[in-house]
Structure 1
Amino acid sequence: MPCIAIVKPAHAVCAAVRAGTRRGVNVSDLLALPVEVGAAVRQRRLFHPAGVLARGRIERIAPPGQGLPIEDGDVIGRVSKAVGLPGSVPDVAGLAWRMTIDDRPWDVLLATTALNRFLLLPTTSWDNTTYSSLMPLRYQGGVWWLRARLTTKLDRPGLSLDSITDRLGRGDLEYSVEQAAGTGQFGPLARLTLSEVIPPDHDLSFDPTLNTAPGVALTPGWLTDFRRAAYRRSREGRDAE
Structure 2
Amino acid sequence: MTPGTGIPRLSSTPVARAFGAVLSAAFAVGRRLRHPRPIHPRGAVLSGHVRWIPDAEPSGIAWIDRTPDGPVPVVARVSRSIGLPAPLPDIVGLALRVEADGEPADIELASTGWTVPARFALRAHRRVERARFGTLFPYRGTRGPVLVGARTRRGRPAATDPRELRAADERTWSLTLGHATALGAWHPFAVVDLRLDDDQDDTGLRFDAVRHPLPGSHPYAWVRAARQPSYARVQPAHPEVRMPR
TM-score (norm 1): 0.76
Partner amino acid for 1:190?
Answer: A
Q: Which residue of 1 aligns with 2:49?
A: 57
The separation in 2 between residues aligned to 1:182 and 1:166, in whole angstroms, is: 41
Partner amino acid for 2:153?
Answer: T
Q: Cα offset for 1:176?
A: 0.8
Q: Cα offset for 1:213?
A: 2.5
Q: Which residue of 2 aligns with 1:102?
A: 101
Q: Cα offset for 1:166?
A: 7.1
Deviates more, 1:164-173 or 1:32-41: 164-173
CA distance 1:119–1:240, change in 2 (3 Å): same
> What SS does the aligned partner of 1:92 have?
strand
Larger Rg, first or second structure (1 or 2): 1
Q: Which residue of 2 aligns with 1:33?
A: 25
Q: Which residue of 1 aligns with 2:212?
A: 211
Q: Which residue of 2 aligns with 1:15?
A: none
Indicate yes or no: 2:82 matched with 1:83.
yes
The separation in 1 between residues aligned to 2:163 and 2:183, in whole angstroms, is: 35
Q: Which residue of 1 aligns with 2:36?
A: 44
Match of 1:124 among 120, 123, 126: 126
Partner amino acid for 1:134?
Answer: L
**Mapping 1:1-241, distance limit 5 Å:** 30-31=21-22, 32-63=24-55, 66-67=58-59, 68=61, 69-70=63-64, 71=68, 72-114=71-113, 115=115, 116-154=118-156, 161=161, 169-203=169-203, 204-219=205-220, 221-236=221-236, 241=240
Contact 1:104 1:212 (C-alpha < 8 Å) held by counterparts: no
Deviates more, 1:137-146 or 1:35-44: 35-44
CA distance 1:36–1:191, change in 2 (3 Å): same
Aligned residues: 212
> What SS does the aligned partner of 1:217 have?
coil
Q: Cα offset for 1:201?
A: 3.2
> What SS does the aligned partner of 1:78 have?
strand
Per-residue CA shift, 1:171-201, capped at 9, x if unaligned?
A: 2211111111342211111111112424333
Contact 2:172 2:195 (C-alpha < 8 Å) held by counterparts: yes
Name stretches of at least 5 consecutive residues in structure 1 with no aligned partner. Answer: 1-25
The separation in 2 between residues aligned to 1:28 and 1:155, in whole angstroms, is: 33
Q: Cα offset for 1:167?
A: 9.7
Q: Cα offset for 1:163?
A: 11
Percent identity between the two aligned chains: 25
Q: Cα offset for 1:53?
A: 1.1
The separation in 2 between residues aligned to 1:96 and 1:164, in whole angstroms, is: 19
CA distance 1:211–1:154, change in 2 (3 Å): closer
CA distance 1:38–1:240, change in 2 (3 Å): farther
Name stretches of at least 5 consecutive residues in structure 2 with no aligned partner. Answer: 1-16, 241-245
Q: Cα offset for 1:48?
A: 1.2
The separation in 2 between residues aligned to 1:215 and 1:208, in whole angstroms, is: 13
Q: Cα offset for 1:160?
A: 5.9
Q: Cα offset for 1:36?
A: 3.1
Q: Which residue of 1 aligns with 2:3?
A: none
